[in-house]
């Protein structure tokens, strides 16, 4: 630890003190962070002033964006599209510093920022796979190479979990209070899962430290919602034409934004509520509604819309069968799993979501939503499906979705097109082994306990239905006719 501390102290002495006084360190400098958390802080600062700022980092990819942000002096624009003719421009200056941690120097600079006394909160948008958790159970993937590395070389961490752990260790050693860890990723109980991952990694190194984290570090849950598609070259041209803005760091999103956060910040937090953030005791009902209604619909569009030949969310929404299918999914297959909401509230939310999906200025690519399916489907479809199974309620939309995902895998494997999923290699191997034989492929896939709850894999009637629908899709059956005949 001696050398490491000297390094940290050396770097601390080189960074201007003001750069250290940011308050918030963010890991996962991507589109969503810049259009959501940074916008809320900008609005909070505009209303209340104060010295809360953000230092944002990427630890494994997106180095180019860090360089672009640094070249732009960390100032960028967010273009909010209510619809094609209505673009609202926001200038954001809430990000004060950025890091790329692909090198030892970069990693130590970020660690020094995370150990600075002024750092009170670490926020995360590192995607569902960035937590290295089994999607169905939330257990830490101890065999993952990156986790293996961080278990042995804990002072040169490569994962967000390892960075959090090392920074907490340094803070404790220097007598600084712990920061609060706030996940802003689309996971159920994202704070609980983030805590479970960090504590499991700590346990692999030092039981006493793991207990200290359990007792001293807050990991509140939060529900985050704003549709923020990746920006394409076409988007840059559209934004320039609509707003005159021509910058590599611009972000495009819808006008809608929501952030519901459990108010548990022992080291303090910005007055986010002044910018409309909902600070609550318990976020679980909000997150379940959003993950199943919005994200579950998005994933249905991603796989079935792609098979039907559509490229964007808005394009697919023009198809009446698809729109009706989503409405059925939300009201007949999700609503029964959300008992804390009235049917009328869910009906209103459903119509709002359909309208949001129809916003064609977003050009939200189905292939982007289709990414990381193995990490997304458990919380978007499968947990709800097991609840419907227990209530003996049918779920033809979710079943068609699962068959659609499996067909999507088969099509991608045949075309040797990446599905951008951490389990791609294993999933493609399964597809190759049971090519176009739904009766074998389906049981083999549902045996994946890291993705599918055991109750689904044991449901023979479900396996038969899924095989029949998947065979139909693989044989070229029209998606819309399967949707119409589903109910």
Binds ligand NAI (CB under 6 A): choice among 185, 235, 421, 471: 185
Cα 353 from Cα 387, distance rounded (Å): 23
Secondary structure (3-state) at 424 = helix
Cα 29 from Cα 76, distance rounded (Å): 13
Q: How far is the CB of 229 from ligand CS2 (least distance, A)?
A: 7
Q: Which of 432, 440, 405 is nearest to 416 (CA)?
A: 432
Q: How far is the CB of 146 from ligand CS2 (least distance, A)?
A: 22
Torsion region of 254: left, alpha or beta (phi above 0 gives left; psi -120 to 50 gives alpha): beta
User: Which residues in this chain contact ligand CS2 in the complex, by CB under 6 A?
Assistant: 186, 225-227, 294-295, 298, 368-369, 376
DSSP 335: G
Structural tokens at position 151? 């278990």
DSSP 436: T
| Cβ proximity of 483 and 412 under 8 Å | no
Q: Which residue of the chain is nearest ligand NAI when measured via CB?
A: 30
Binding of ligand NAI at residue 226 (CB under 6 A)? yes
Binds ligand NAI (CB under 6 A): choice among 164, 228, 370, 442: 228
Closer residue to ligand NAI (CB): 146 or 321: 146
Closer residue to ligand NAI (CB): 35 or 446: 35
Footprint on residues 39-58 left by ligand NAI (CB under 6 A):
58
Q: Which residue of the chain is nearest ligand CS2 when measured via CB?
A: 298
Q: How far is the CB of 320 from ligand NAI (least distance, A)?
A: 26
Closer residue to ligand CS2 (CB): 114 or 228: 228
DSSP 272: G
Cα 59 from Cα 28, distance rounded (Å): 7
Binds ligand NAI (CB under 6 A): choice among 23, 130, 373, 378: 130
What strands lie across the sheet with 53-58, from one edge to the other? 95-100, 53-58, 23-27, 121-124, 180-183
Q: Which of 153, 136, 169, 150 is nearest to 8 (CA)?
A: 169
CB atoms near residue 275 (< 10 Å)? 19
Closer residue to ligand NAI (CB): 28 or 401: 28
Q: Which stretch binds ligand NAI (CB under 6 A): 3-11, 76-84, 128-136, 474-482?
A: 128-136
Binding of ligand NAI at residue 61 (CB under 6 A)? yes
Size of the site for ligand NAI (CB under 6 A): 24
Q: Which stretch binds ligand NAI (CB under 6 A): 91-99, 166-174, 226-234, 322-330?
A: 226-234
Q: Which residues pair with 16 in a beta bridge?
A: none
* Residues found near ligand NAI in the complex (CB under 6 A): 28-33, 58-62, 125-130, 160, 185-186, 224, 226-228
């Amino acid at each position: 630890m001696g050398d490491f501390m000297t390094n940290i102290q050396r770097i601390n002495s080189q960074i201007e003190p003001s750069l250290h006084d940011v308050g918030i360190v963010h890991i996962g400098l991507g589109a969503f962070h810049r259009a959501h958390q940074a916008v809320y802080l900008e609005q909070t600062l505009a209303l209340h002033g104060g010295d809360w700022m953000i230092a944002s980092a990427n630890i494994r990819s997106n180095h180019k964006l860090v360089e672009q942000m640094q070249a732009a002096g960390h100032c960028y624009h967010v273009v909010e599209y209510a619809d094609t003719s209505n673009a609202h421009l926001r200038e954001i200056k809430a990000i004060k510093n950025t890091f790329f941690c692909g090198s030892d120097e970069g990693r130590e600079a970020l660690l020094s920022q995370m150990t600075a006394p002024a750092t009170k909160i670490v926020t995360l948008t590192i995607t569902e796979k960035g937590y290295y958790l089994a999607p169905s159970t939330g257990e830490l993937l101890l065999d993952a190479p990156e986790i293996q590395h961080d278990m042995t070389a804990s002072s040169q961490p490569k994962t967000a979990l390892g960075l959090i752990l090392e920074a907490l260790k340094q803070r404790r050693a220097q007598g600084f209070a712990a920061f609060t860890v706030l996940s802003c990723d689309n996971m159920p109980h994202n704070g609980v899962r983030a805590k479970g991952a960090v504590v499991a990694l700590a346990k692999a190194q030092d039981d006493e430290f793991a207990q200290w984290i359990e007792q001293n570090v807050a990991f509140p849950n939060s529900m985050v919602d704003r549709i923020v598609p990746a920006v394409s070259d076409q988007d840059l041209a559209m934004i320039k034409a609509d707003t005159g803005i021509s910058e590599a760091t611009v972000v495009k999103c819808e006008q809608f934004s929501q952030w519901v956060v459990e108010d548990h910040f022992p080291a303090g937090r910005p007055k986010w509520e002044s910018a409309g953030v909902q600070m609550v005791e318990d976020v679980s009902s909000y997150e379940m509604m959003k993950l199943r209604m919005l994200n579950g619909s998005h994933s249905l569009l991603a796989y079935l819309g792609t098979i039907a030949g559509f490229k964007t969310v808005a394009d697919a929404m023009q198809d009446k069968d698809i729109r009706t299918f989503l409405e059925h999914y939300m009201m007949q297959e999700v609503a029964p799993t959300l008992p804390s909401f009235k049917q009328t509230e869910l009906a209103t939310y459903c119509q709002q979501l359909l309208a949001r999906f129809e916003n064609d200025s977003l050009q939200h690519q189905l292939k982007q939503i289709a990414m990381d399916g193995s990490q997304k489907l458990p919380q978007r479809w499968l947990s709800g499906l097991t609840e419907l199974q227990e209530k003996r309620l049918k779920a033809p939309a979710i079943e068609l979705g699962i068959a659609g995902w499996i067909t999507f895998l088969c099509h991608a494997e045949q075309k040797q097109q990446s599905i951008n999923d951490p389990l791609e290699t294993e999933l493609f191997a399964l597809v190759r082994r049971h090519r176009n034989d739904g009766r074998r492929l389906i049981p083999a896939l549902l045996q994946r306990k890291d993705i599918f709850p055991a109750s689904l894999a044991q449901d023979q009637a479900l396996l038969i239905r899924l095989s029949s629908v998947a065979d139909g899709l693989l044989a070229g059956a029209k998606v819309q006719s399967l949707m119409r005949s589903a109910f």
